[in-house]
Amino acid sequence: MPGFELLTASGFPRSAAGAAALAAAALLVLLQELGHRLRREEHRAWWASNGRDVTNAAGFAAIALSLRLYGFPGPAALLAGGIFTMLVYGSYVLAADVARARHPKALAVAAGWALVALLLLFPRPVAFFLGGLASALFPGAGAHVSAG
């Protein structure tokens, strides 16, 4: 099964990108909270759903860019960013609406940081997995993949 090859980044740039990924995870949760509030309070306004789309896109872009800077190739960063965005959205909804937790934002931030930690601590296996997933979803797309 082919996988994406992780780009080499080290030292301060990689550490800064890791910190940016953690910040992007927290930002994404804050944006989810804003989107949740828009859905709850402005459900009749025509622009509310567009506002939620913008908040989701901004959070997605922040996490995908930070992963790209960390060394993930562009397609892997996009795929991981999309999956991450959906998981963080789900964790916020689970904490706020299903479990009715007292502090859903804190729980969602903790979940986001745990997910980012997995991406940052195991970047090669994650990139390899994402490459295989991309190959399965888009066969023959011509993406450069490597088992390295």
**pLDDT tens, 67-93?**
999 999 988 999 999 999 999 999 999
Mean pLDDT of the chain: 87
Which residues are CB-contacts of 63 (< 8 A; sequence separation ≥ 6)? 21, 24, 25, 28, 80, 81, 84, 85, 116
The pLDDT assigned to 141 comes to 63
The pLDDT assigned to 145 comes to 47
In this structure, is residue 7 part of a structural domain?
no
pLDDT at 128 over 80: yes
In this structure, is residue 120 part of a structural domain?
yes
* Average pLDDT of span 30-53: 82
Count of domains for the chain: 1
* Average pLDDT of span 119-127: 93
In which domain, by residue range, is 34 found? 24-137
pLDDT at 144 over 60: no
pLDDT at 148 over 50: no
